[in-house]
Amino acid sequence: MAELRLAAANPASEAALPPVGQMTALERRFDRWIEEFAEFSRSPMSLVERSQVESVRLKAEIALKKLGLERGRP
């Protein structure tokens, strides 16, 4: 377990983890990114900034869908 916490704190060490540990570390980073994005998107911002946030959200959505399609998932 300490190995996973270390990897989460130091992404460069993730390559030394077994695939399950690498996936766990990736999931934790993804969850933190989602939380950070949600918090940021709730902050007051101009219409231009809102548009930029939506652009980033759409880019992430497209990238994740593309990844699924490349892996043979609809």
Tens of pLDDT, residue by residue over 24-63, are: 999 999 999 999 999 999 999 999 999 999 999 999 999 9
21 pLDDT above the threshold of 80 = yes
pLDDT score for 71 = 79
Count other Cβ atoms within 10 Å, centred on residue 7. Answer: 22
Spell out the domain ranges in the chain: 1-43, 45-74
CB 45 within 8 A of CB 53: yes
- Least trusted range by pLDDT, from 3-17, 34-48, 60-74: 3-17
Higher confidence at residue 66 or residue 3? 66
